[in-house]
Amino acid sequence: MTHILRIDSSLKGEASVSRRLTGRIVAKLSEASPGATVTERDLSRGVPQIDAGWIGAVYTAPEARNADQASIADYSDRLLSEVKAADILVIGLPVYNFGLPATLKSWIDHLARKGETFRYTAEGPEGLLKGKRAIVALSSDGTKMGSGIDFASGYLKHMLGFFGISDVEFVAADQLVFDSEGTIRAAEDRIESLAA
């Protein structure tokens, strides 16, 4: 049975274009796989930034953690478990100031754990989350995806690949300020053409 993890990070709530697109992508995938299950994670509610306390927590053996470390590690472990359990990640990527929302970057930081999502080998780093698919719904007001001022899509694709997720597709509703209706319609048409 297919398990889908939907990640949203836009601060705009129901007015968010990236949320609209992730919703449509999940609906399309669920229609193609009627038994699919969906886990939703809304990062706009806040994701703690990693810090020295986080490092101390996640790299301390569970039985040796104090209460604060156990709480920190539990939150981070839940984010990691959601990704590990997913067959398909549907990620909303609103472009803020040419890059990722801070909460989406923090989510990635929680996932970047040696021995969990990657390891170092004599040949270089190896991602440990192989066999998963990611579909990214990118929205932006003025930034064109793949342009010299897009510091969001390339970074996210790199990090997913670093974790072993090489099957990454983008659905872009970029440069919305120039033709919002046409851009969204083209993105929705792209969703309809996605292979299930």
| Residue ranges of the binding site for FMN | 10, 16-18
Residue whose entry in the numeric block shows the structure tokens 């919703």: 23
Distance CA 143, CA 150 (A): 6
Select from 53, 25, 50, 44 the least CA-distant residue to 134. Answer: 25
Q: Residue 144 contacts by C-beta under 8 Å, 6 or more apart in sequence?
A: 150, 174, 175
Q: Is residue 182 within 8 Å of 172, Cβ to Cβ? A: no
* 152 token code pair: 């969001």
Distance CA 53, CA 41 (A): 23
Cα→Cα distances 53→81, 101, 106, 117, 149, Å = 20, 23, 14, 20, 34
Distance CA 91, CA 137 (A): 6
* 79 token code pair: 């984010």
List the binding residues. 10, 16-18
